[in-house]
Amino acid sequence: MKRDEKKIWFLGLSSLFNDIGSEMIALILPFFVTALGGGGIAIGSLSGLREGLASIVKLFSGWYSDKVGKRMPFVFLGYFISVLFRFLLVLSNSWQTILIFMSLERFGKARDAPRDAIISVSTKRYGHGFGIQQMLDTSGAILGSMLVLFLFWKFQLGFKTIILIAASLSIFSLVPLFFVKEPKTKPIKKSLFSGIKYISKELKYFIFVASVFTFANFGLYMLLLLRAKQITGSLITAIALGVLFNFIWAFFTIPFGNLSDIIGRKKVLIIGYALLSFVGLGFIYSSSLIYLIVLFILFGFVYAITQANQRALVSDLSGKMKATAFGFFQFVIGIVAIAGGIIAGFLWNISPKIMFVYITLVAALSTILLLFVKSSSKLKN
């Protein structure tokens, strides 16, 4: 293994431990919200806000990381913030408080753009590199979801006890960071706006396309879990489906990353975007556990195909200010996620089937728009 690629594995291990705690909380969050009186709009808003508000921090952390030529202080601070607010979540006694603490917890995502910039300079095989990080991240989600399933089934622990355990396990995400050496990065003294202006037209168009996709995939996972519980009448079954989703996501992330290195990002992403449309269509008619199993498997493939490869394509189309490019990408996606979550939550309150019609149509539109993305670009360096 090359020395620089070891950084990807250590960063991935931090993601693994962080996602054990994150997924433990994410799996029970929609049920915790409903237990405290929150409805479809509350869950939809929470789904969007978990990513949306943090997106502002992602943008500034990415740009400032480029400006000062430092990555690791932002990565460490981001993980620390997530750990802190997970402990504070235990104090929640209303769904509004959950909304506040979980939104603030996602400010820890300030780590993402600087971390992705480290990955992009640690390997020339972007699909493979981002696939490793995403695989370890999602492996943590598998372990976290299996742990929640065990704690509910064996010990019947309450929501707050599980959140406390999740927060405690998240502390271990800080340990691997001490083994990641700060990469040599030349400071780029550009203002935020000039840095955004520096982003290529090709990348800006792809960010627009990814934004349309995000209107359909805004944080849909929590509403799918809630729908699974409605159909099966079992919280344990819904959590088990979440485990299945995470397993598929983790197992197939690296293969699809490698595939995108060989045949191109756009071809692979088209499959993922189109597949979400089929998932939405399937949920319109789903009425049994067998249908749910198939749909959660397909949804796992959507994430395995899109999550790492979208970031790899951003890396393909970005110039020297990679952290700024990642920050801008994540900023726009996050803002759209807020709107997408609110729209979906409103439609959910009318009828879950209407919401899934919306998901189907928007995902289909994003697939069409993706056809016009230029997957390579001659950039000014």
Query: How does pLDDT run across 102-147, given as a tens digit for each residue?
Result: 888 988 988 998 999 999 888 888 888 899 998 899 899 889 989 9
Kindly report, residue by residue over 266-299, the tens digit of the pLDDT. Answer: 999 999 999 999 999 999 998 899 999 999 999 9
Pair of tokens at residue 80: 């620390």
Domains, the chain, ordered by start: 3-170+198-370 (1.20.1250.20)
How many other CB atoms are found less than 10 A from the CB of residue 95? 19
Judged by phi (left if over 0) then psi (alpha if -120 to 50, else beta), residue 264 lies in left
Q: Give the pLDDT of residue 381.
A: 34
- In whole angstroms, what is the distance from residue 182 CA to residue 156 CA? 44
Residue with tokens 């939405």: 280
Q: Give the pLDDT of residue 196.
A: 83
Calculate mean pLDDT across residues 4-18: 92
Kindly report, residue by residue over 54-103, the tens digit of the pLDDT. Answer: 777 888 888 899 889 999 999 999 999 999 999 999 999 999 999 889 88
Sequence-distant (≥ 6) Cβ neighbours of residue 41 within 8 angstroms: 342, 345, 346, 348, 349
- The secondary structure of residue 152, as a DSSP letter, is I
Query: Rounded to 5, what percent of the chain is helix, strand, coil?
Result: 85, 0, 15
Q: Give the pLDDT of residue 51.
A: 67
Distance of CA 293 to the CA centre of its chain: 22
Kindly report, residue by residue over 205-243, the tens digit of the pLDDT. Answer: 999 999 999 999 987 888 999 999 999 999 899 989 998
Least confident of 132-141, 174-183, 354-363: 132-141
- How far, CA to CA in Å, does 156 sit from each of 119, 137, 162, 235? 40, 27, 10, 12
CB distance 185 to 71 below 8 Å: yes
Alpha-helical runs (H) found in the chain: 3-35, 40-68, 72-89, 95-105, 112-122, 126-150, 159-170, 192-198, 201-216, 221-232, 235-263, 265-285, 289-317, 322-350, 352-370
Q: Give the pLDDT of residue 307.
A: 92
Would the CA dihedral through 56, 90, 241, 362 be positive or negative? Answer: negative
Q: Give the pLDDT of residue 2.
A: 55
- How far, CA to CA in Å, does 303 sit from each of 34, 81, 237, 288, 316? 26, 25, 21, 23, 20
Mean pLDDT of the chain: 90
pLDDT band at 3 (very low <50, low <70, confident <90, very high): low
pLDDT band at 377 (very low <50, low <70, confident <90, very high): very low
- In whole angstroms, what is the distance from residue 77 CA to residue 61 CA? 11
Task: Say which residue, 102 or 50, is predicted with more confidence.
Answer: 102
